[in-house]
Structure 1
């Protein structure tokens, strides 16, 4: 037994052997725990209807196995002594390793749960923006968890993190000021996603831009104007300006003005109003809320006006076109004449007198 009492690096070989057994035992138990989670716990989780337990088992098995291995190494090192300074340093190392392992498990869990939640939300909302926001939100969450974990690890190891946080705060303020517009666009994109003032495919009007929304991104939105051009608008514009969603209107208001000749009698005006009322109210693309009246005396015509509304599901161009064509056909059949700009010139004096003067 004298062999085990021999000293190597300040510790008896017996203590080295015990430390080695603790380390090997930790590795073996860690692997057994990992296999047990992989086989038994996954089978139990697979029998349930919810996917939450499957995600938890899948994400915690590796950090738990690492925690058991670290625990074995810690108990093993507890049998060895290399001086106060080295022992204190190793204690800090193990504290940092445990904090990092806990952070790793928390980051994996939160990232997996958030990814599953956003996947289901994206499938339900069918929004292209969700697929763009999901990676950014997941990376932001992971980064936040790791930063907090590193700070916790350094604090547990005895380091003064106050000065570090002060420096990070000043640097963060400078970066925030430099990236002000970028951050504003990010929050503008989140506002568009949450508030949903419009969707892809809607026609919107904003600051003189009128077109169809083709893509909603995390930083900007693309709109195809009525002229066929693509306009890219930063998302913060949607929180600072008035956005008019043309597609969301319940119906499109249309005003129709007709000018009849001045020799049209009151009875014929009433007939024109009746024909116009019949055409508009019988069309399948219009609502019942229609106003038609004799609107006044123009410079060269007697005016008949109509206000009607095109249904949301009807075409806002073809419906008025069909009504106008039917008005032209019916008015021609009824011999109702449309007025056009005319001028009557009245000359005073006699032609003969003017000729004699010449």
Structure 2
């Protein structure tokens, strides 16, 4: 009986010592690991911020931070003798389930990362994307906020933005203003062109180079249509467009150049008696 007691005591002491040793090592792994994870996450976030947008850098740093913490916890549990294979399988299955449930959100996130990395537009640009148009107010991870000309804020999912054509009206420093003016067939085209050039020449916002284009584009049913295409700085686009439309009408009236209404000539044949 004494021998059995001695064996049990020796067994307990040996494994108690081993368990205590493993417990101490697990605590060391946990404490040191978490300290290292914090430092590594900070270094990675600073590195990301030098290459990526601040929002993307912070988000990726948080993901890596969580992933490293999970790795440290698994290492500590493994040191205690816990079977981590099944634990990893559970984490994997849970991650797959979450990924399938949030596939649309993950798609928007991936599109947001691409927007912030490739920069097809920036905050303050006027763009047409995702089925809407407006001034970019904020580029978030999952959605882009646009402010429309009538002062509405529209939240557009980044997936919709990246899956459609993006037209950025603010990237280039200059834009061409496209206008069409119709005059009557009786009008002197040389005089009409002189008047148009004179109106454009008085507007200091119209650029000298490239020179404005004024040309006959169509002999329509009721009018002779001329295309008028001056170049302006991008911020002046709408101002020049609206002011030129008004100035042309006033000047045409002063010069006696008529802008015809749609009309149709009808011919009646007399029936023979």
**What TM-score do you get using the length of structure 1 for normalisation?**
0.63
* Counterparts of 1:275 and 1:163, CA distance in 2: 84
Confirm or deny that 1:252 pairs with 2:252: no
Where does residue 181 of structure 1 map in the other structure? 104
Cα shift readout 1:318-356 (whole Å, capped 9, x = no counterpart): 11222233323433443333323345555666xxxxxxx
Asked if structure 2 preserves the Cα contact closer than 8 Å seen for 1:223 and 1:231, the reply is: yes
Larger Rg, first or second structure (1 or 2): 1
| 1:142-181 equivalences in 2 (<5 Å) | 142-181=65-104
Taking a change above 3 Å as real, the CA distance of residues 295 and 102 of structure 1, as seen in their structure-2 partners, is same
Confirm or deny that 1:100 pairs with 2:30: yes
Q: CA deviation at 1:135?
A: 4.8
Higher helix share: 1
Where does residue 16 of structure 1 map in the other structure? none
Where does residue 5 of structure 2 map in the other structure? none
Where does residue 222 of structure 2 map in the other structure? 300
Q: CA deviation at 1:294?
A: 2.6
Cα shift readout 1:136-184 (whole Å, capped 9, x = no counterpart): 3343222112111122223344443223222322222222212222222
Where does residue 6 of structure 2 map in the other structure? none
Which of residues 247, 252, 261 is equivalent to 2:184? Answer: 261
* Counterparts of 1:313 and 1:207, CA distance in 2: 23
Which of residues 191, 194, 215 is equivalent to 1:271? Answer: 191
Question: Once superposed, which parts of structure 1, at least 4 consecutive aligned residues long, lie more than 6 Å away?
Answer: none
* Counterparts of 2:101 and 2:262, CA distance in 1: 62
Confirm or deny that 1:198 pairs with 2:198: no
SS, match of residue 295 in structure 1: strand
Which of residues 5, 15, 39 is equivalent to 1:85? Answer: 15
Q: CA deviation at 1:99?
A: 0.9
> For this pair of structures, how many residues does the alignment match?
260
* Counterparts of 2:239 and 2:26, CA distance in 1: 71
Unaligned runs of 5+ in 1: 1-80, 350-358
* Counterparts of 1:342 and 1:160, CA distance in 2: 88
| 1:16-27 equivalences in 2 (<5 Å) | none
Where does residue 257 of structure 2 map in the other structure? 336
SS, match of residue 197 in structure 1: coil
SS, match of residue 21 in structure 2: helix
Q: CA deviation at 1:293?
A: 1.6
Q: CA deviation at 1:90?
A: 0.7
SS, match of residue 168 in structure 1: helix
Q: CA deviation at 1:185?
A: 1.9
Taking a change above 3 Å as real, the CA distance of residues 160 and 215 of structure 1, as seen in their structure-2 partners, is same
RMSD: 3.1
| 1:200-239 equivalences in 2 (<5 Å) | 200-239=123-162
* Counterparts of 1:213 and 1:108, CA distance in 2: 35
**What TM-score do you get using the length of structure 2 for normalisation?**
0.80
Asked if structure 1 preserves the Cα contact closer than 8 Å seen for 2:130 and 2:163, the reply is: no
Which of residues 241, 245, 250 is equivalent to 1:324? Answer: 245
Asked if structure 2 preserves the Cα contact closer than 8 Å seen for 1:107 and 1:146, the reply is: yes
* Counterparts of 1:237 and 1:346, CA distance in 2: 55
Cα shift readout 1:74-101 (whole Å, capped 9, x = no counterpart): xxxxxxx971010010110111012112
